[in-house]
Amino acid sequence: MATPAAPEGQRADDHAGPRAEDGRGGLRATLGGLTTRGRSFLAAGAAAAVCAYVLGQADLLRVGMLFELLTMMCAVVVL
């Protein structure tokens, strides 16, 4: 069976998944596979951190960092 042609600018052996031969790309693949809830937590954490910086609120920064860290820790555990 013939392999389908790769789009222009891409090699036929390029793929979006983790690279088994060198062990890299696993975290990127896991973060790329986040659910809508996970992406929302990352966005909410980033927005809270930016707002905390602009407003000078340390407690809001802690909440933003909590959202970011929870999402990252879950992604690492799943990895």
Q: Is the pTM of this model over 0.85?
A: no
Task: Mark out the alpha helices in 1-79 (DSSP H runs).
Answer: 26-32, 36-55, 58-78
Mean pLDDT, rounded, for 21-48: 78
In the chain, % of residues over pLDDT 90 = 35
Determine the pLDDT at residue 20: 47
Q: How many helices (H) and strands (E) does the chain have?
A: 3, 0
**18-32 pLDDT, tens digit each:** 444 445 566 677 677
Residues in the chain: 79
Determine the pLDDT at residue 7: 61
Mean pLDDT, rounded, for 24-43: 78
